[in-house]
Amino acid sequence: MMTRDELAQLSSDERSAWLDSLSDDEDLVASTPPGYRYTLVVLSEAKRALLSDLPSEHRLKILEHLDRRTDTFTAEAIAQIEPMCDEAHEIFQEAQKLGASKALDVFARWEVFNAFVALNPTLLTAIKMSGGREHQSGRHKLKGK
């Protein structure tokens, strides 16, 4: 899998050829803006947190956070997202060590998000289910993300 840094070094023609070589699912991920990719990762982590023994006020805050994301993804798509697995949670925690903003950038990177999708295919399902939303308005050229 090509990394963000490798993609940045491609010429316009090479990038076009690479985009043309993507499968439908890869193309869909490439067409999804970085902010939406990291939002899906955070939603999966939030669902993981709901599995733990939380005080009711924390549980409510997480549920309210999930509800606020319906401006980006359909409620049905959010419902399909499974909680983050242990391996994905390890990646999540390592990225968090960089600070919140940098961690979000890491989650949105092409190669990192694809690792999350490999561990939790419901992230891709959520993208497909929200395909009518504005974030599926054409190819995203992976500019630096």
Domain annotation covers residue 6: no
**What pLDDT score does 46 carry?**
94
CB 115 within 8 A of CB 91: yes
Domain annotation covers residue 97: yes
Domain annotation covers residue 106: yes
Q: How many domains does the chain have?
A: 1
**What pLDDT score does 139 carry?**
44
* Structural domain for 127, as ranges: 28-132
pLDDT digits (tens, 9 = 90+) for 43-66: 999 999 999 999 999 999 999 988
pTM, whole model, 2 decimals? 0.82
Domain annotation covers residue 96: yes
Domain annotation covers residue 14: no
Domain annotation covers residue 90: yes
Domain annotation covers residue 142: no
Domain annotation covers residue 18: no
Model confidence at 27, pLDDT cuts 50, 70, 90, reads confident
